[in-house]
Amino acid sequence: MKITVLGTGYVGLVAGVCLSDSGNHVTCVDVDAEKVRMLQQGKLPIFERGLEDLVSRNARARRLSFTTSVAEALAESSVVFVAVGTPQSDSGASNLQYFDSAIAMVGAHVRPGTVVAIKSTVPVGTADRVREAFKARGLAVHVVSNPEFLKEGTAVDDFLRPERVLIGCEGDEPRHIMQDLYAPFTRSGSPLLFMSNRSAELAKYASNAFLAMKISFINEMALVAERCGADIGDVRRAITTDSRIGGKFLYPGCGYGGSCFPKDIQALVHLGTSLEMPMEMFRAVHSVNERQKSVLFEKMQRHFGGNLKGRTIAAWGLSFKPLTDDMREAPSIRVIEQLLAAGASVRAYDPVAAQEAVRIFGSRVLVQPDPYEVAKKADALVIFTEWNEFRSPDFERLRTSLTAAVIFDGRNLYDPESLRRQGFLYYSIGRQDPK
């Protein structure tokens, strides 16, 4: 099949590349000429494991190309995926400015009979609105909702081996086209779920809201544990043996970030509000998370007697989760801004997000390529992201590098008792802080 993908971000690039890898001819379009230029040279604008090899293999086989010209791409395509960003607007609603402009570009060049598949996460009713708009202009195209469930860090694998594929559409023709397109990825039995556009759109929000709710649940429980002398690790072990609860996505931490959960929860609250619903649960999920993002800073403030002025803090991990360079809404940003505002200086290390950190903080934070170098003569270490390489560091080297052996761990990577024996003052989430 000949396919166009609009947007070469974390979703569009991965989808386009994986679709070309199964034999389709894919043209990826982006309005960002610099991104397109990089991709044409075989360089990736984002970090995603396994993606670079796939890009070069499929580009070499002439199944994958990159352009800024929608007209050129759409001239031959029978399916066009829209995977542009839908960030949060000031009101909490999705900002559909990029999406609407992508749809306008499609409308100007699309051929009759084309499937327009919406991969971006969009408010319920968007596909119907797009369908009506195309119809009003006499354009006979199929508007399909195909929300994406890949996870940054394992995006390629998630796309190639999805747990399910969701298709919202009307009529048999788009259904059969999408069935054929996804057949290579669902051969091992992953379900291809067909439903209305509106159900598919809402299912995406429901999925993210549930996951965010689990994180806020365990984080609020962690705060309770700290205050009543319990250990969230033990509480977690106890509750997750119940098969109705399960253990996934129930790890206490310094709050969720990323480009999806925060904005999708807000968009869901906005949707409910527009339907005259109070949306109490999802408002709480958001506010618990906002509070959680400040927990590490509050612990640091208490440790340093309320005065961080002149202190140097070393930070390990900046991305919102491991295996990605994405720092959108990352807890690290909130805490580092709080530290800087309090007069502390920050030196930081991340295995892949260094460039992104420099883009965000400029010269306000010293980003260094070695984790032990950032710890040298720092007053404390703070850990924001559970990168594997932080799980068993050289504690002796760390202890002697820091001016004081103090760790604030936003991901509960270590055993408190073991760290105490090794001479550290160790603060973590939902466990008892050192006296």
Residue ranges binding ligand NAD (CB under 6 A): 6-12, 29-32, 35, 83-86, 98, 101-102, 105, 119-121, 148, 150, 152, 259-260
DSSP for residue 379: S
Nearer to ligand NAD, 256 or 426 (CB): 256
Nearer to ligand NAD, 10 or 424 (CB): 10
What CA–CA distances, in Å, run from 6 to 30, 43, 73, 149?
Answer: 6, 18, 10, 17
Least distance between ligand NAD and beta carbon 412 (Å): 24
What CA–CA distances, in Å, run from 332 to 32, 253, 295, 296, 385?
Answer: 27, 12, 12, 10, 8
Nearer to ligand NAD, 11 or 402 (CB): 11
Note whether 351 and 389 are within 8 A (CB): yes
Using CA atoms, how far apart are residues 366 and 362, in angstroms rounded to an integer?
A: 9
Least distance between ligand NAD and beta carbon 126 (Å): 11
Least distance between ligand NAD and beta carbon 50 (Å): 15
Least distance between ligand NAD and beta carbon 235 (Å): 30
Cβ-based neighbours of 332, under 8 Å, separated by 6 or more:
315, 317, 318, 319, 320, 348, 384, 385
Q: Residue 5's closest CA among 153, 105, 87?
A: 105
Note whether 166 and 193 are within 8 A (CB): yes
- Residue where the block lists tokens 């973590």: 428
Nearer to ligand NAD, 84 or 225 (CB): 84
Helix, strand, or coil here: 396? helix
Q: Residue 413's closest CA among 426, 400, 397, 396?
A: 426
**For residue 435, how many C-alpha atoms fall within 13 Å in the half-sphere facing its CB?**
1
Least distance between ligand NAD and beta carbon 400 (Å): 39
Least distance between ligand NAD and beta carbon 121 (Å): 4
Using CA atoms, how far apart are residues 145 and 130, in angstroms rounded to an integer?
A: 11
Least distance between ligand NAD and beta carbon 88 (Å): 10
Crossing angle (nearest 10°) for helices 232-240 and 197-228: 130
Catalytic annotation, pick one of 18, 28, 169, 260: 260
- Residue where the block lists tokens 């999708």: 264
Active site (annotated) includes residue 260: yes
Least distance between ligand NAD and beta carbon 329 (Å): 11
Taking CB positions, which residue lies at the least distance from ligand NAD?
A: 9
Positive or negative torsion for Cα 323, 329, 331, 333: positive
Helix, strand, or coil here: 161? coil
Paired tokens of 346 = 């920050």
Nearer to ligand NAD, 7 or 371 (CB): 7
Nearer to ligand NAD, 82 or 313 (CB): 82
Nearer to ligand NAD, 118 or 381 (CB): 118
Nearer to ligand NAD, 205 or 349 (CB): 205
- Per DSSP, the residues of 80-127 read EEE-----B-TTSSB--HHHHHHHHHHHHHPPTT-EEEE-S---TTHH
Phi, psi of 381 (to 5 degrees): -115, 135
Length of the chain, in residues: 435
- Which active-site residues does the annotation give? 260
